[in-house]
Amino acid sequence: MIWFRPCRWLLPLTRLVSNLAVTLLGLLLVTFLIGRVVPSDPVLAAVGDRASQSTYDKAFIELGLDKPIYEQFWIYIKTVASGDFGTSILTKKEIVDDIIRVFPATLELATVSILIGTLLGVPAGVLAAVKQGKLIDQVVRVIGLIGYSVPIFWLCLLGLLLFYAKLDWVAGPGRIDISFEYAVNPMTGLLLVDSAMQGQWDAFKNAFSHLILPASLLGYFSMAYISRMTRSFMLNELSQEYVTTARVKGVPEWRVIWCHALRNAAVPLVTVIALSYASLLEGSVLTETVFSWPGLGQYLTNSLQNSDMNAVLGATLLIGAIFIGLNQLSDALYSSLDPRVRKRL
Amino acid sequence: MSFTRWRTAVVFMCFWLGVCTSAQARTPTDTLVIAWSIDDMLTLDPAESFEFSAGEILGNSYQPLVGFDLNDVSKVFGVVAQSWSVSSDGKTFSFTIRPGLEFASGNPITAADAVYSLTRAVKLDKSPAFILTQFGLTPQNVDEKVRQTGEMTFEFETDKPHSPQLLLYCLTANVASVVDKKLVSSHERNSDLGYNWLKTNYAGSGPFKIRDWRANEVVVLERNENYQGPQTTLARVIYRHMPESSTQRLLLEKGDIDIARNLTADQIQAIKENADVSVQQGVKGAIYYLGLNQKNPYLAKPQVRQAIKHLIDYTVIADTLMKGKVSVHQAFLPKGMFGALELTPFSLDVEKAKTLLAEAGLADGFTVTMDTRNTAEATGIAQAIQKTMAMAGITVELIPGDGQQTLTKYRARRHDIYIGRWGPDYQDPHTNAETFARNPDNADNADSKTLAWRNAWEIPEMTAATDAAVLELDSQRREQMYLDLQEKQQQSSPFVIMFQEIEVIGTRSNVKGFVIGPSFSTNSFQSVTK
């Protein structure tokens, strides 16, 4: 019946919106409270140590710190609800403008990293599961273990030393060479996309050469996790009866592994990859610092250190929204990968 | 096993090799690329800016009314101002603007711009405004006190007959830079005096103009073709934000940057072996000190303060730990400033310290805490001090924290010992005397939070002496007053002044002519050649 249709969609939609609102509100409240509890004076960040008392007092009132905490929080929520995230103490710009400036750098880095991580991690995990206990399994495990346990900061410096300083294969820190700095017109903020859209292939190559080392290192890091998870999901699937059935039926082994087992292991794997991607999108502070990458991680850390609460809250909201969004996306993928889930919906 | 790892590495490398260009572009000859951690930069408005990095950038892109000779700081010369005179009562200064000067925008510089710049800074009342308001200016009276008297002349009236030196030195500070009235006014919104526009834009007349600033990423300056002084050979100067010093070293040795600003002492030692790179240094005005809170009953004893001054191995810290990034200095005026005292009466003397502690009735020592900013420098110095203090039985517990945290605690007077770094706000000795030797009100809610106040050091006599030195018109007598003040302060104060900072930078060998001044705003790259 026609009147029934909108309700079928309305219910999950309302559930999604209320989920989003409650989660983000909780996130904001916790971040806000932590920000106020930290024994560091936000007015100092705004006016510095040398300002006169009158300048200090003026800034104190401008920042709204003379009001009780619950009132400050209420005012903040009200302004956020109207789409205004406030101004950063540090950059003096609208938080939205700041995030639009720093987030594409992180998005570009994280996307290439997760691609590398997935493309290498999944086959490595499958291989390890199939050859369980054999040499190749041990090798994948050790490589994964190294990736997971070596400090990323050290790995980044070593990577720079080898591939940039000694071998000269990749470009150094930063997103692009200064000669291309103003050549690319920022449209999306993603240098690879912008330069490709404008047909500036020299700039594209240069940006790629800057990106590939940090992206590979972060990719290696997520590969370690993804390959471990793939291995364990695959082991679980390979011991199922349907696999034995397929083998008995005479299905070729590669088909059994890549089409039957992996297809089923892919369902939980989607969540693993989505969450790895989300944590990369938070911005990897250490990698960004070593590679002078002007991304979200550096922005957030710097804001935190300067008690720039508007910026911290804005960035936290974005990260929260990313996590929720990717979770929803992996749920949606579930239903396309798993017919049983589809049926339930 | 190792074979497989090697094979994996080869696969990775081939992947990179296939997609990356192998030849890297180095910096162009007309461009100077400087790597520096510039995350302290808040604004480009001279009326608000008070940070090191922005100070340097504004110092090279704006012109002040007057400047001083870096080699002989007592020599003050006119920059935008051509000449000046002081009235007989010592309260009114009349300035004449140099004719024929232009802003980068092409607008001529007149007295109206100078008056606008000074009154604007006072009315906005941002962090550095006190440099001007200490002459009795308020947002209400400034239009009357700083007044235009002709097309190219204006007057500046102070509340008291201050030493003319003080006013002139204060006018060399960035806050008194001349901004383009016509340009800034055209961007005024809701009578904000162009504040919201100028914080990210440029309206000056210096050798360079600021083309672009992206916070925590890059600042780009270009040659100002309208600048009347000698034209620079550089077409542009680029500051790249680079928080990690190892990265700076790599890029410098590789030639992708021309100057690295945040190298550690060890890295400086290491690059000395590279012929393509050289090291340049200059004395800075900042001093490192310990503040001993007088609210702590142990530290309030004069003998204990004296003992601590004998429990620091000044030379070892300066030479071995800091490897030339500081020099030993024990008076509150840094070397190079007018009236600086170069006497260094204290050195490590454990026996003397023990005797002093016994006199204070603390022969067995005591325990105190030290709030330490978590930078490599502060932590290193603090640990060295912890070790030597232990020799006389004083147990020092270090409390590391980030800059804002330790500062918040210090300003609330809740520390025992604070290890601090203080840079002068302007070139006159009063800037440091005012904070190290003046405490007009020791109450917890006092308005003036000088360093003497932060350490709860009550000094009515010394405060009076500091105030008198500001009003002394004769410069020789004034110099003697500061020398006396420092000698007295050095012995009795709860400040253990230890070192003066030396700025050390790494440059490519072909980079010549970078000038390191006593403050960041006097660092100049105007005459750099590559």
Instruction: Convert A265-300 into a string of H (helix), E (strand) and C (coil).
Output: HHHHHHHHHHHHHHHHHCCCHHHHHHCCCCCHHHHH
What is the complex's ipTM, to 2 decimals? 0.81
Q: What is the pLDDT of residues B330-371, one digit of tens each?
A: 999 999 899 999 999 999 999 999 999 999 999 999 999 999
Alpha-carbon gap, residue B78 to B65, rounded angstroms: 6
Residue type, A161: L
Q: How confident is the model at residue B13 (pLDDT cuts 50, 70, 90)?
A: very low
Instruction: Give the integer Cα–Cα distance in Å for B374 and B362.
Output: 30
Is the pLDDT at B74 greater than 90? The verdict is: no
pLDDT of residue B157: 96
Q: What is the pLDDT of residue A145?
A: 86
For chain A, what's the residue count? 345
Is B271 touching A (CB cutoff 8 A)?
Answer: no
Q: Is there a contact between B396 and B434 (Cβ–Cβ < 8 Å)?
A: no
Strand pairing class (B66-68; B31-36): unpaired
Mean pLDDT of chain A: 85
Chain B residue whose CA is closest to A285: B243
At B184, is the pLDDT very low, low, confident or very high (cuts 50, 70, 90)? very high
pLDDT digits (tens, 9 = 90+) for B292-302: 999 999 999 99
> DSSP letter string over B500-512?
EEEEEEEEETT-B
Provide the pLDDT for residue A28: 85
A76-90, A104-118, B465-479, B482-496: segment of lowest average pLDDT: A76-90
Q: Which of B38, B48, B246, B247 should we substitute to test contact with A (largest number of A Cβ atoms within 10 Å)?
A: B247
Whether A118 and chain B come into contact, CB under 8 Å, resolves to no
In what helix (H) or strand (E) does residue B77 lie, and over which residues does it extend?
Answer: strand B76-78
Token pair of A49, please?
A: 């140590």
A134 touches chain B (CB under 8 A): no
Confidence bin at B22 (pLDDT 50/70/90): very low
Residue B63 has pLDDT above 80, yes or no: yes
pLDDT of B25 reads 46
* Cα dihedral A284/A285/A288/A293 (nearest 10): 100
pLDDT band at B73 (very low <50, low <70, confident <90, very high): confident
Inter-chain CB proximity A48 and B50 less than 8 Å: yes
Please name the helix (run of DSSP H) or strand (run of DSSP E) that holds residue B496, with its range, or none.
Answer: strand B495-508
- Cβ–Cβ below 8 Å for B25 and A179: yes
Higher pLDDT, A339 or B529: B529
State the burial class of residue B88 (Cβ atoms within 10 Å of its Cβ: 0-12, 13-18, 19+): exposed
Handedness of CA B319, B321, B325, B331 (dihedral sign): negative
Dist CA B335 CA B490 (whole Å): 15
Note the pLDDT of residue B24: 44
Confidence of residue A84 (pLDDT cuts 50, 70, 90): confident
- Average pLDDT of the residues in B207-222: 92
User: Tokens 């502070």 correspond to what residue?
Assistant: A285
From the list B13, B22, B244, the residue facing A289 with the nearest CB is B244
Contact list in B for residue A98 (CB cut-off 8 A) is 215
* B130 contacts A52? CB cut-off 8 A: yes
Above 90 in pLDDT, residue A2?
no
Out of A334-338, B247-251, B375-379, least confident range:
A334-338
Cα gap B121→B1, rounded to integer Å: 68
pLDDT score at A8? 67
Condensed to tens digits (0 to 9), the pLDDT of residues A215-232 reads 999 999 899 999 999 999
Tally of residues, chain B: 530
Whether residues B126 and A209 touch (CB distance < 8 A) is answered with: no
The predicted structure's pLDDT at residue B4 = 47
Give the C-alpha distances (Å, rounded to integers) separating B146 from A22, A138, B93, B114. 56, 80, 10, 9
Q: Residues 6 or more apart from B365 whose CB is under 8 A from it? A: B357, B392, B393, B394, B395
Strand partners, B219: B213, B239
Q: Please, which pLDDT band fits residue B27 given cuts at 50, 70 and 90?
A: confident
Q: H or E element: which one contains A321? A: helix A309-337
Rounded to an integer, what distance in angstroms lies between the CA atom of residue A314 and that of residue A94?
Answer: 10
Specify the pLDDT at position B39. Answer: 81
Do B247 and A291 make contact, defined as CB atoms within 8 angstroms? yes
Check residue A342 and give its pLDDT: 63
Among candidates A44, A177, A208 on the partner chain, residue whose Cβ is nearest the Cβ of B408? A44
CB contact under 8 A, A38 and B220: no
pLDDT (average), residues A12-23: 82
Query: Across all residues in chain B, what is the average pLDDT?
Result: 91
Cross-strand bridge partners of residue A151: none
With a CB-CB cutoff of 8 Å, which residues 273-292 of chain A face chain B?
289-292
A241 vs B: CB within 8 A: no
| B125 interaction partners in chain A (CB closer than 8 Å) | 52, 54-55, 58
Q: Which of the residue ranges A290-304, B20-34, B441-455 would you say has the lowest mean pLDDT?
A: B20-34
Q: Do A92 and B405 touch (CB under 8 A)?
A: no
Candidate from A333-337, B105-109, B221-225, B522-526 with smallest mean pLDDT: A333-337
Burial class (CB in 10 A: 0-12, 13-18, 19+), A237: buried
Mean pLDDT of A204-215: 92
Q: Grade residue A83 by pLDDT with cuts at 50, 70 and 90.
A: confident
- In sequence order, the β-bridge partners of residue B497 are B289
Contact A41 B247 (CB under 8 A): no
CB contact under 8 A, B51 and A305: no
Confidence bin at A344 (pLDDT 50/70/90): low
Question: Measured between CA atoms, how close is B4 to chain A, in angstroms?
Answer: 8
pLDDT beyond 60 at B430: yes
Name residues 105-144 of chain B within 8 A of A (Cβ): 125-130, 133
Q: What is the pLDDT of residues A245-255, one digit of tens each?
A: 988 988 888 88
Q: What is the pTM of this model?
A: 0.85
What pLDDT is attached to residue B52?
A: 85
